[in-house]
Structure 1
Amino acid sequence: MKQKELTDAIICCFYTVYNTLGYGFLEKVYENALKVELGKRGLKAKVQYPITVQYNGEPVGEYFADILVEDEVIVEIKAAKTLLNEHEAQLLNYLKGTGKEVGLLLNFGPSPQVKRRVFDNSH
């Protein structure tokens, strides 16, 4: 499994934050808390990582992934009742747009949810 050790560490941080803060805050609060927790574990994290979308070699838009950990794993944070297909599509588009292959979708909803996605960018 690609980046298993790193994703396991990120998921551990997610549960630490979830168990400490619980449910009900805005995504930004969880993003900031997760960055702090990742740093405590010695992991390098960039918040609001910019992604430029290209179309036929031309930039056509820019958006931001919530967190990029160790320049390898994109973390998308939600604070919703449940994860939706649209959330997974967003994460897959982030992976396509960056050339990164592993992403985590973390939901700080009423019940914690984690989805790990891999996208093979070699195709």
Structure 2
Amino acid sequence: MEIDKLTEQVIGLAIEVHRHLGPGLLESAYQECLYYELKKANLKVERELKLPIEYKEIKLDHGYRIDLLIEDRLVIEIKTVETFTDVHKAQILTYMRLGNYKTGLLINFNTKLLSKGIKRFVL
């Protein structure tokens, strides 16, 4: 599937989750429900994927965890914050660089309209 179509499908499923749950819950609730919707849509999805980092001669196996990885190429980072900060944006870009993924979505479920809480990143 083309990455733009995949991204569009994932955004649609995230909107579906937000319509049912609304804002105000923990990140883990949205992650679990979005994971359910992605699996139901027959997409390959990995949750809490460990992303090791290498520093000089050492490898840190528990460096980072990607919230969701879709079809081995789309990184999803879920937030429930008032507004995105530069740290949130840097976080997803770091995950993308370390894992050599080209596309990512930063999704903030703590918004009245989910479309206002989605940022797409492309390396």
* Alignment-mate amino acid for residue 97 of structure 1: L
Give the unaligned 5+ runs of structure 2.
none
Deviation by residue 1:69-98 (Cα, 9 ceiling, x = unmatched): 011101000011111111110000000110
* Structure 1: distance between partners of 2:85 and 2:26: 18
* Structure 2: distance between partners of 1:75 and 1:40: 17
* Structure 1: distance between partners of 2:73 and 2:90: 19
* Structure 1: distance between partners of 2:57 and 2:44: 30
What's the TM-score, normalizing by structure 1?
Answer: 0.90
Of residues 107, 117, 120, the one that matches 2:121 is: 117
Deviation by residue 1:42-66 (Cα, 9 ceiling, x = unmatched): 1111100110111246314521010
What's the TM-score, normalizing by structure 2?
Answer: 0.90
* Alignment-mate amino acid for residue 95 of structure 1: M
* Structure 1: distance between partners of 2:65 and 2:40: 24
Q: Percent identity?
A: 33
- Is 1:96 paired with 2:97? yes
Match of 1:41 in 2: 41
Match of 1:70 in 2: 71
Aligned-residue CA RMSD (Å): 1.4
* Structure 1: distance between partners of 2:37 and 2:76: 14
* Structure 2: distance between partners of 1:28 and 1:76: 11
- After superposition, the Cα gap between the structure-2 partners of 1:56 and 1:66, relative to the gap in structure 1 and judged at 3 Å, is same
Structure with the higher fraction of residues in helix conformation:
2
Residue 15 of structure 1 deviates from its aligned partner by: 0.3
Please show how residues 79-90 of structure 1 align to structure 2 within 5 Å: 79-90=80-91
Residue 110 of structure 1 deviates from its aligned partner by: 2.7
Give the unaligned 5+ runs of structure 1.
none
Deviation by residue 1:8-40 (Cα, 9 ceiling, x = unmatched): 011001100001100111000000000001112
* Alignment-mate amino acid for residue 36 of structure 2: V
* Structure 2: distance between partners of 1:114 and 1:28: 17
